[in-house]
Structure 1
Amino acid sequence: MTRYKSSLLALATITTALIAGLFYAFSVAVNPAFMQLPDAQYIQAMQEINRAIVNPVFLFGFLGSPLFLVLTVVGFRKGPFSAKFIWILAAALIFITGGFGVTILRNIPLNNQLEAFSLKGASAEQVKVMRDAFAGSWNNWHTLRTVCSGFSLILLVIACLKKD
């Protein structure tokens, strides 16, 4: 395996691990804790996270993972298809559709709807309706992206361990 291909696979694996880890942490710690919050505090906390998470460190992993996955697929595609290539291709397809795609098409639009909701002047009933409309759907999509990201990471680790 050339150094270039090894580097791409390492970057794809590292960035996918960063995002899978973030999603996993939300699933096992943040979301269960937030479910205990009263409605207004839950909305405020999610709004704050949605504002804080868009930063260069997060974007490196979130945008880097699909980019490095595609570049890795292209790099390993040259020549005869190997078992390593199949693992990488599967990881890329699953992450790009189930991790990145779900985030872009489902979670971010829900985040944007929540961001547009103002707690100031909202009645307790309006706050409850907003939370109910947001939380169940967001958590379901989040679970899917967490599983897909974790599975993609497992496939990448298998690819790392395979010989050419």
Structure 2
Amino acid sequence: MQALITALLWVSAIGCGLIAGLYFAFSTFIMTALDRIGPAQGAAAMNSINSTILGSLFMPLFFGTTVAAAILAVLALVRWSEPGAMVMLAGGLIYVVGMFICTVVYNVPLNNELARAGAGSAEVWARYLRDWTFWNHVRTVASTAAMALFVVALLARHSDLP
């Protein structure tokens, strides 16, 4: 069981880091660049990104990291007396709520609305940019925080790590 938890912590920390990096890129420059090219072009580019990402390696990473983080949260409760359980639980909850649920409740519906509107609505694009980017900031922070907490849990469980 110790080896399984260690493996899940590594997978989760790396997965959270990769996803945080992608979200960070969108939050810090991709959305700004899409806004600069104009509403029709920006919406068309974002719709293309959204349809392309569904068939990419991002999806197994997205779902796999979510499942691993959720399992870690449950294992933390079951093994509460072990070192790192509290930060393991916090990392799992922050990731599942702050990344996964946020994505499902906010970002995906906004993506669907943008796809329905196509590239023709400047009003939809302006609202999309504002709202989607805000929730993406939340996902970025949650993914980064979860990654850090999983690393702390690894260190707490394995004091022999450098």
Q: TM-score, normalised by structure 2?
A: 0.88
User: Cα deviations across residues 96-155 of structure 1 (Å, max 9, x unaligned)?
Assistant: 111111101000000001011133xx4xxxx21121221111111111111111111111
Q: Quick check: 1:57 aligned with 2:51? A: no
Q: Quick check: 1:157 aligned with 2:155? A: no
- CA RMSD for the aligned pairs? 1.8
Is the contact between residue 15 and residue 60 of structure 1 (CA under 8 Å) also seen in structure 2? Answer: no
1:58-73 to structure 2, matched below 5 A, reads 58-73=58-73
User: 1:76, CA displacement in angstroms?
Assistant: 4.2
Find the aligned partners of 1:2 and 1:25 in 2 and give their Cα distance: 35
User: 1:77, CA displacement in angstroms?
Assistant: 4.0
What's 1:116 paired with?
Answer: 116
Is the contact between residue 20 and residue 144 of structure 2 (CA under 8 Å) also seen in structure 1? Answer: yes
What's 2:29 paired with?
Answer: 29
- Stretch moving more, 104-113 or 81-90: 81-90
Helix, strand or coil: the match of 1:145? Answer: helix
Is the contact between residue 88 and residue 155 of structure 1 (CA under 8 Å) also seen in structure 2? Answer: yes
Is the contact between residue 5 and residue 76 of structure 1 (CA under 8 Å) also seen in structure 2? Answer: no
Is the contact between residue 79 and residue 85 of structure 2 (CA under 8 Å) also seen in structure 1? Answer: no
Find the aligned partners of 2:147 and 2:79 in 1 and give their Cα distance: 24
User: 1:79, CA displacement in angstroms?
Assistant: 4.0
User: Cα deviations across residues 28-55 of structure 1 (Å, max 9, x unaligned)?
Assistant: 2312212211111111011001001112
- Stretch moving more, 106-115 or 33-42: 33-42
Is the contact between residue 84 and residue 159 of structure 1 (CA under 8 Å) also seen in structure 2? Answer: yes
> Are residues 41 and 58 of structure 1, via their aligned partners in 2, closer, same or farther at CA, if it must alter by over 3 Å?
same
- Stretch moving more, 32-41 or 86-95: 32-41
User: 1:78, CA displacement in angstroms?
Assistant: 4.0
Find the aligned partners of 2:23 and 2:92 in 1 and give their Cα distance: 17
Structure 1 residues without counterparts, runs of 5 or longer: none
What's 1:94 paired with?
Answer: 94
- Stretch moving more, 23-32 or 60-69: 23-32
* Equivalent pairs, count: 158
Find the aligned partners of 1:53 and 1:106 in 2 and give their Cα distance: 17
The one-letter code of the counterpart of 1:143 is H
Is the contact between residue 102 and residue 135 of structure 2 (CA under 8 Å) also seen in structure 1? Answer: yes
Match of 1:145 among 123, 139, 152: 139
